[in-house]
Amino acid sequence: MTTNIYVCIAIAMLLALFSSKLMKKCKLPNVTGYLLIGLLAGPYCLNIVPEDIMHTLSFIPTIALGFIALSIGAEFKLSYLKKVGKAPVIIAILEGLGAILVVDLALILTGNDVRFSLVLGAIASATAPAATLMVVRQYKAKGPVTSTLLPVVAIDDAVALMGFGISVAIAKALGNPDASIAASLIHPIIEIVGALILGSLLGIVYTFLVKYFTGRGNRMSATFAMVFICLGLCEMFALSSLLACMAMSAIFVNLSNEYETVFALTDRITPPLFMLFFFLSGAELNITILGSVGVIGIIYVIFRVVGKVAGAYVGAKLSKAEPVVQKYLGLTLVPQAGVAIGLATTSMSIVPEFGTQIQTIILCGTVIYEIIGPLTTKIALKKAGEIQ
């Protein structure tokens, strides 16, 4: 009998709901439950949600990430940025570079190929904002670490793309002395700048629509339309949808006086979408490949976290952030998912001789980071006194 897609969606949501109750008893974040139950119900374990259904529902994670980026972009209100100053920018750059450099050094010093090390190390910079945001929302975390964290994970995407572009350019030059480093850097620059320009223009349109349509239902429809058109245009022109949606939201919150009302409505209707997103993310995690990660994979998984924590600490120290930010922010940057997997796929054409190995390591890392990441975020925020 053919599996019905609507029945699968209902089963996914019910399983996720029951997992959240179990997580509450275990004092773990809900998102951990969504991921774990998705992992168990997915095609690589119990196959309750089969692979063909996963493929059909592949648009849900894209939409969910669009709304997650919309929420994070709202942190870029100018009055708030003036208050926190340059700290998020400095921390984001140094934690991203810290992860890249530490992983690069660890891999090269253990005798791995330099080109392989550079490409794999470059992917270490990427952080997944979704799990972090869900933990912050669930526990209503509030304080200096949370306030610094959200802009950092927003800027992190741009840092990851640029870091990957530079590392790839060096790797190409080592493999082919005639290769142009400048040409290799053009693509990530276009992707970042293009996404920011597109998002800014759509933010202006979004502001006009919210001003013109005053009803709650109409404003909600306008929000969905703007997220969808932003995601669609980014896909058409190969731009970063995360950056574009963040830019659109940032422009909107700085131009509109109604942003709090609009985002309050959005927060009420997106929980089922986010629940499905994390369930499907868990179902996509192929736990059977963990055994193939090897020593190189272990080095990557451990030293990426070391680089993130050290880089965030140095960045917070240099920007004179509060001591609690210096101490705990790095532990909230562990999750890694979509952007890293996308960069790993790109590496297949850059270093084809190492592409499959890099992809396997990143997929294994994703399984580990997505499960432990929300927990480390909760522990760090609780230690910082920002979760009651």
Beta-carbon contacts of 39 under 8 Å, excluding residues fewer than 6 positions away, are 45, 282, 283, 285, 287
Beta-carbon contacts of 256 under 8 Å, excluding residues fewer than 6 positions away, are 206, 207, 210, 211, 262
Tokens representing residue 21 in the block:
């109750």
Q: Which residue range is the domain that position 185 belongs to? A: 59-383
Instruction: Provide the pLDDT for residue 1.
Output: 45
Q: Is residue 321 part of a domain?
A: yes
Instruction: Specify the 3-state DSSP secondary structure of 299.
Output: helix
Q: What is the dihedral of CA 283, 373, 91, 110, to 10 degrees?
A: -90
Q: What share of the chain is helix, strand, coil (3-state, %, to 5)?
A: 80, 0, 20
Q: What is the CATH number of the domain that holds 260?
A: 1.20.1530.20
Q: Is residue 379 part of a domain?
A: yes
φ, ψ at 247 (rounded to 5°): -65, -40
Q: Is residue 15 part of a domain?
A: no
Q: Is residue 349 part of a domain?
A: yes
CA distances from 290 to 170, 284, 300 (A): 30, 14, 13
Beta-carbon contacts of 194 under 8 Å, excluding residues fewer than 6 positions away, are 237, 239
Contact 163, 100 (CB under 8 A): yes
Contact 293, 68 (CB under 8 A): no
Instruction: Provide the pLDDT for residue 292.
Output: 61
Q: Is residue 49 part of a domain?
A: no
Q: Is residue 18 part of a domain?
A: no
**For every one of its 388 residues, what pLDDT tens digit does the chain have, with 9 covering 90 and above?**
456 888 889 999 999 999 888 888 877 778 888 888 888 888 888 888 888 888 888 888 888 888 888 887 887 777 777 776 788 888 888 888 888 898 889 888 888 888 888 888 888 887 777 777 778 888 888 888 888 887 887 777 777 777 777 777 777 777 666 656 666 667 777 877 888 899 999 999 999 999 988 888 899 999 999 999 999 998 898 887 878 888 899 899 899 888 888 888 888 888 888 888 888 877 877 777 666 667 888 888 889 889 988 988 898 888 888 888 888 888 888 887 666 766 776 676 667 777 777 777 877 777 788 778 888 888 888 888 888 7
pTM of the model: 0.76
HSE value, Cβ hemisphere, 13 Å, CA-based, for 245: 28
Which stretches of 110-180 are DSSP H helices?
114-123, 129-138, 144-175
How many domains are contained in the chain? 1
Beta-carbon contacts of 146 under 8 Å, excluding residues fewer than 6 positions away, are 136, 381, 386
Q: Is residue 154 part of a domain?
A: yes
Q: Is residue 277 part of a domain?
A: yes
The rounded distance, in Å, linking the Cα atoms of 72 and 203 is 14
